Amino acid sequence: FFPPCLSALPKLHPLALTTEMSGGGGLGSGCSYQKFVHFALEQTRHRSTLVPHPSQEKFRFIKANEDNTVLNALSFSTSKIRLLRSLTIEQKNSVQVLDFAAFSRPEYDLPIFCANAFSSPARSIVVLDLNPLYDTTEHKDYREKYYRALMPLVHKYSELLPWGGKITSESLRFFSPIVIWTVFEPSEANHQALYSAFVDYYMVWLEFMDGAVRESSKEKIDRNREAQHKYLTWRAEKDPGYPLLKKLIGESGAKDLVREFLFEGVGSLGTKSFLEYFAEYAQEDGTVNKKRSMAGKSFGTRPWDAHGLFVGDAVDG
């Protein structure tokens, strides 16, 4: 027996159907991002020992300055994972946010697990991906290693969670050929489809983690570290969630959360600055341009073919 919102969906991941639905508000009754986090932590615990990350101490009990808003921050490490962290924001019958990510230690070239969802009563904005450490168009070996076998996942979810419309070329370069970038009306069925996709993508990531072999070449480890640092530097500067965080916990609280929790490592994994990585954002006075997109190009449809080859045609705007 499946609840009605589940029986309508084909071929969802079996693990997505076993977990009881709990929580509430904003996403259709009986749905919450909390269960995404529980699932991922439980599955990770089956395979490795989770050790609390030092950042947990400071952020575990972080409070919003609005009574109706609950923040939940958790972070861990394992022998292969440098940082596994999760932030959820729940406002009664209003905004719900999930920001879940896993960063491997630099001895591994694992993709970065990235699940971001912002849901208001009007719509949910979602990015679910195994963000590549190396650009998959330039680095064919990386594409082959991690994404080639996963392309059926794109097909599986292309109807339930279709391309979310124009996405900037700046964001796209951090995405993989299997990215789920979608915008939908919050409903129980859509939420359940997203949960199933989250389960599928996280299980795949855990498989990669299990199979990952420690790199011993210092050069390659340094390269992995810098690639992760570049990613952290981008997200710590340009995260679309920043204005909401600032509203909820104030400017200095939001800055700390971004640099010491969500994208921890931005201050320690490397020394290059945002402008050294992304020079196109430099303004004459030496400050960083606040815009998210400098190129002003975007992709209105999925720019990869069924084999994961880039076939995109950027349009203006």
User: Least distance in Å: CB of 217 to ligand BLA?
Assistant: 27
Specify the residue, 39 or 299, whose C-beta has the smaller distance to ligand BLA.
299
9, 244, 275, 288: which one binds ligand BLA (CB under 6 A):
244
Specify the residue, 27 or 114, whose C-beta has the smaller distance to ligand BLA.
114
Site string for ligand BLA, 266-285 (x = CB under 6 A): --------------------
Contact between 240 and ligand BLA by CB under 6 A: the answer reads yes
66 burial class (0-12, 13-18, 19+ CB within 10 angstroms)? exposed
Residues 84, 75: Cα–Cα separation, whole Å:
5
142, 174, 195, 208: which one binds ligand BLA (CB under 6 A):
174
Contact between 193 and ligand BLA by CB under 6 A: the answer reads no
104, 171, 176, 228: which one binds ligand BLA (CB under 6 A):
171
Binding residues with ligand BLA: total (CB under 6 A): 18
Contact between 179 and ligand BLA by CB under 6 A: the answer reads no
SS3 assignment, position 119: strand
Q: In what order do the strands lie in the sheet with 51-52?
A: 51-52, 69-77, 81-91, 96-104, 112-119, 124-131, 180-184
Residues 299, 317: Cα–Cα separation, whole Å:
9
* Binding to ligand BLA in span 28-47, by CB under 6 A: none
Ordered alpha helix ranges (H), the chain: 4-7, 14-18, 34-47, 55-59, 140-146, 151-157, 169-172, 188-211, 218-238, 242-249, 251-256, 274-277
Contact between 303 and ligand BLA by CB under 6 A: the answer reads no
Contact between 97 and ligand BLA by CB under 6 A: the answer reads yes
